[in-house]
Every structure is written in C-alpha cells, then in structure tokens.
Amino acid sequence: MRSRILPIFVLLTLLVSSIAVVNAQSVSFETPTDVNIAAEPVTLTLLHNNDGESSLLPLSNTVEPGTGFPNTEDVELDIGSVAAFKTLTDENIAEAVGGGNAVLNVYAGDAFLPSATLTCSVDDDEAPVYDALAQSQIDYDAHIFGNHEFDYTPSFLERFIRGFDDGGIPDQPFLSANLDFSAQDGYADLIDADGLITDPVTDGRVIGKSAIVTDTITGELFGIVGATTPRLREISSPDDVEVLADVANLVQTEVDRLTDEGVNKIVLVSHLQSIDNDRELIGQLTDVDIAVAGGGDELLLNTEVPTQTQLLPGEGADIEGEYPLVAQDADEKDVYIVTTAGNYKYLGRLDVNFDADGLITEIISESSYPRPVIPESDAATELELTNTVVPDPGIEMSVVDPVNDCLALLNETPVVSSEVVLDVSRDGVRGRETNAGNLITDSFLEAYDQNAEEEGFPARSAENPVIAIQNGGGIRQNAGDALPVGGAPGVITRRNTIDVLPFANFTTVVTDVTPADLETIFELSVDFTESSGQFLQVAGMSVVYDLSQPVGSRVISLSLADDTAIIEDGEVVDGAPTVTIVTNSFTAGGGDGYETLADNPNKTQLPLSYEQAWRNYLEAFDEVDGSPTISAEDERYQPGGEGRITFVQQLYLPFVAR
C-alpha cells in the first residue's frame, strides 16, 4: 500500500484534531511477520470505483426544471472526470484518516476502454498511457483485472501496468485469482512468485491473486482477493493469459491463505459483470466480509441518506438496490456488497466497524453511500450545488490538457459527410439490422476487393462467394447512439470512427467456411441464452430468423447476395457452396463463442484494422461540394437498412455484455 500522502492543509487539521493519529501515522509497517500486531477493533473506510473506461474528461447531464433544483430551464451540468474524482478521493481519505479510520481504496476493473481517448496513448508509443498516469496519482491499494483491460491484448495492458511506477519500478498491485499470466510474453518480471502480494511492493512484481495491506494509520491487516469474469476469452483478447473457470474454489483458496496468515478482515474485489454474479459467488464462499463488484455499472443508494446527496443531478440510471446490499455466504453469514456506476461519476464509500475477531459489528450508515463527482462550474453554481470539487491541477496538467489537444486534432479531421443518420445504438447493433452495421460490413467486402490480388485471393464472384460479418459488441457507443454526432446529417470525423470501432481488431479473411458452419455461426448470432454481443451485422447475404423457435433452430433461411440459397426452411441446402467470410480478428479468433471460426485454420489477417477498413470505405464515397458524402438516396443505408436481416417475430434481448 502506498503511504497516505495528504495535502498540507489536511496534515495541519490532523495535527490540531488528534496528535495521537499523527504519531500513529509515523509508524512503519513492513509486512505481517514484521509487525505481528494483534488485531483490535477498527473502523474501516472502504473507497471503491469501477468501470472508469477511459472517461478521463467531464461528461454532461441535462438537469431539467422541476427536479429539485432552482433552474427554470434545462441546464447542462459537467459531471465526472478523473481530475475531479481524484480531489473527491483525497477529501474522503483525509476525512477518514482524520477520524482515525483505516482506509482501503480499490479499483474493481475496466480501468480503460478502447475509445478515441485511449487512441491518444495507443497511437503514440512515446506518449504515456494517460489512464495509468491519472490513476497512478490516485491513492489506490489495488486494481482488479476487468475484461476491457485485455481489449488491446496483454501487450498494451503490460504498458498500462508499467505506467504505475515508483522510480521506474511498478508498484501498484493488480489482482485476479483466476488469471494465470505465466505463459504471456513480457510479464515474467511483473508476476509475484506465490501470488500473495504484501504491501508495499518494492520489487516490481505487482501481478498476483491476493494481497495483504497493512493500514499505515491503525496497523491493522486487511486482505484483498481479486476475481475476473470467466467469460474473458469470449468477450476480450487475453491471448496467452490463461482464464480459469473455477472462480469460487480459486477465490476460496486465496481467502484461506489470508486467514492462515492471520488476516481476519477480507474484501473480495471482482469484475464479474453483474452484481447478481457476485451474489452467486458469495454463496459459495466463507470468511469474506465485504465484496466490491465491478462490470455491471449498477447504482446502489443508501435509503437513510437523502437521495440528492448521493445522486448526480440529471442522473437517469436505474437504482439497482440499497447500498450496501446484503448476501449470505456458505455459512449463512452476512456479506456486504457494494458497487457504483462507472465513468468516474461516483466514488463509493462504505464505513464499517470490525471487532477484534474480524467480524463486522456495524455499518456506519450516515457515512456509507456513493459520492457524486461534480466539478466546480457555473452550471453547478446556478443549481446551487454545495458538493462540488476543484479538479486536481496535477491531473489537469499531465492528463486532461494533452488528451484534449489530441482529441481536438481528431475532431478536426473529417472523414465523410452523411445525409443520413447512422444507427450505432447498443440495442440496434446488438439486435437488428442497422444502416451503420451495413456500412461497416460493406467496408469489409471492399477491403477484401482491395487486398485480394496481393494476398492471393480470387476475386469475388458467383464461384467465390464472399460475405462479411461484424459482431454488434464490437460497435461501440462512445460517440452516442447516432452518427453524425447529434443525430442530424453532417460530418463524421476521425474521432467518431475511432469511437465507434475502437478495438485493436484487424480485418480478417476466413476461407472454406462450409454451409453447415454458416448454420452454426448464424444460430449463435441469435442464441441469447448463452452469450451476448454476438449478434451479427452482415453484408453479401441475407438471413431470416424465427425467434419463436428453440435456440439452435432459429435460422429459417440464408441466401447470398445473388440469391443462392444456403439454408431453406431451416435446413442446409444440398450442394450449397462454401463461402469466404471477412470479419474482425476478435470474431475470427472465436470471440463471443464463435468456436467454428476459431477452429478454421484458413485465416489471413489483412494489413488494416477494422476501423481503417471502414474509414477507407467512407472516404471513397462520391464527393458532394468537395467532400465524400453518403447520399440520402442510397438504399443500402436507409434507416433500418435494406432487409438483409429479417425476423419472423420481434427480437428480444434478455441481456447484453458490458
């Protein structure tokens, strides 16, 4: 754990309020065996957040009149931002330390997300990883691996981890009990030998399964165990990182190790993508006191604290439940679960009293609730808000300013004008044909045409049918639900194309795909009981689904663009041709459960990303007034598409991956 380095005004406050606390702060606690201090009753302040997802800059909420604030018309209020989040975190640490509390601060995964903001780091090897630079200035005790940490493969994650350094040596623990990095290139000097990290880290070996943190104020020991979604390989790109599915046993093994070391206050921090998954996991465990959930973006509120104290003005998120939730472990002992909505919009804080045996005797309700992150602004003044913060100047200078400069350049780079509004909404691309999906998959066919001769592929023809597919989960909403931004005809910029297709996916050609393989692939596209995000946008073909049929029997027909039938009346047509598929490298590699494609050895990666393929296609449209333009008359890109995907009955999505 990093020493709690507090601003000078905080230290002065502590000096005046409690000489004993200041004296305690000067004690050095190296390891559990070094100190061997008997546990005593202690108050823990647990700070937590999750799913920051590269939302480094302020977001905006619309605060309407009549919602409890004095405005008489709509007010656009800046919310969030990592600089304001740091200030709020510092204030809560100072308050807790001033009261003599122990403090833990944990990050429950998805510390970055492919987006235009992250591109400012990815595209420039000389630039810092701005997410790491910002987070390293916040006093965290541990990070847990989420799924988005692997979206740019472990090679970029390594760069991110090494961005947390003290004199060139990584010092921030990164935990997961069910991930094994031992076979991954570049990680040998980052992996802790036995997986149990004891703070402070001085040897750079920051990747482990669990950690023991010695609080520098109270001397008390706390254990942290990490866990990551076992679906990681389906929804991200972990390469040679082994993803172990037996999460409950692996977590319990780490909990038992901690208790064997004399640690009796244990926090599980996970990124399982839904708080329901945490509830289920807790029911299989013992000796966990508190669980911090990540990946679900759920918002919990304390019913004993005024809602306006906890909720961002203009917040539209659903309330998942009470802060904290209570679940029972395998011994029917209460375990307290907390989480927050992401994007640096909230800082969670749970204050609990432990007795000397490590049992929670009280939740301190009046101070246990999510804190909204609201930077100072004229709009906040107009709304008469009193819980605003001044964004941290260090992060403003080192992170916010260069990221703003980078994004401004991307915003000033036009790609195409569009006379039609493109649907990139989450519900759309994951559940129905959209005109944006048509554009993207058409660009894959164009990429095939442009690279076929050089790569040794035959030209597209009746004898060599080529189709294109794009998983809906790979089309993102960083720019909003529509392009051009704002939902009206206009210009689409380079920032927009990166925001929509942000992942490190390369355009990939898969040959010799049989009709039976196609049936398997498209049945998975509408199998919403086993996976999510896998719904396919298509080009060079059309498909009809009947969702009233059982999973595995929903593809009614599938035809190529020249009307050659592959599937009719739910059956593969005898003599139907094999096809070539152009897709992204994630899907070609089996992401979202497309094992049929993963098992096909006939793959060729083209020398352009899926975003570049789309951008090249957009830039090649006929010009209008000197700018390539998507015409309102183009039947392929009308709202709702042109009938490539048809449903016999309305499509329903039970859940989608985050």
Query: Model confidence over 96-125: pLDDT tens digits?
Result: 999 999 999 999 999 999 989 999 999 888
Q: In the listed set 371, 401, 431, which residue is the last one of a domain according to the structure?
A: 401
Q: How far from the centroid of its chain's Cα atoms is residue 90's Cα?
A: 24
Task: Say if 658 falls within a structural domain.
Answer: no
Indicate the number of domains in the chain.
2
Task: Say if 3 falls within a structural domain.
Answer: no
Are 242 and 163 in a shared domain? yes
Are 370 and 502 in a shared domain? no
Are 425 and 556 in a shared domain? yes
Are 355 and 457 in a shared domain? no
Are 151 and 52 in a shared domain? yes
Query: Model confidence over 608-618: pLDDT tens digits?
Result: 899 999 999 99
With contact defined as beta carbons under 8 Å apart, do 453 and 375 qualify?
no
Low pLDDT (below 50) residues in the chain: 1, 7-37, 530-531, 651-658
| Cβ-based neighbour number of residue 389 at 10 Å | 21
Burial of 183 (0-12, 13-18, 19+ CB in 10 A): exposed
Q: What is the domain range of residue 496?
A: 413-647
DSSP symbols for 13-47: HHHHH-HHHHHHHT-----HHHH-PPP--EEEEEE
Are 367 and 433 in a shared domain? no
Query: Model confidence over 257-299: pLDDT tens digits?
Result: 999 999 999 999 999 999 999 999 999 999 999 999 999 999 9
Task: Say if 406 falls within a structural domain.
Answer: no
C-alpha triplet 479, 484, 489: angle, nearest 5°: 160
Q: In the listed set 356, 375, 401, which residue is the last one of a domain according to the structure?
A: 401
* Greatest alpha-carbon span in the chain: 86
Task: Say if 630 falls within a structural domain.
Answer: yes
60: domain CATH number is: 3.60.21.10
Are 427 and 303 in a shared domain? no
Task: Say if 407 falls within a structural domain.
Answer: no
| pLDDT value, residue 2 | 52
Q: What are phi and psi of 572, to 5 degrees?
A: -65, 135
| H-run or E-run covering 498 | helix 494-500
Structure tokens that stand for 515 in this block:
């009709």
Are 374 and 448 in a shared domain? no
Alpha-helical regions (H) of 26-175: 32-35, 82-98, 116-122, 130-135, 153-162
Are 242 and 298 in a shared domain? yes
Map tokens 């519900």 to a residue: 427
Q: In the listed set 355, 374, 401, which residue is the last one of a domain according to the structure?
A: 401
Are 105 and 131 in a shared domain? yes
DSSP single-letter state for residue 191: B
With contact defined as beta carbons under 8 Å apart, do 351 and 364 qualify?
yes
With contact defined as beta carbons under 8 Å apart, do 491 and 414 qualify?
yes
Task: Say if 656 falls within a structural domain.
Answer: no
Query: What's the rounded Cα separation, in Å, for the pair 101 and 218?
Result: 7
Are 129 and 154 in a shared domain? yes
Are 530 and 629 in a shared domain? yes
| pLDDT value, residue 35 | 38
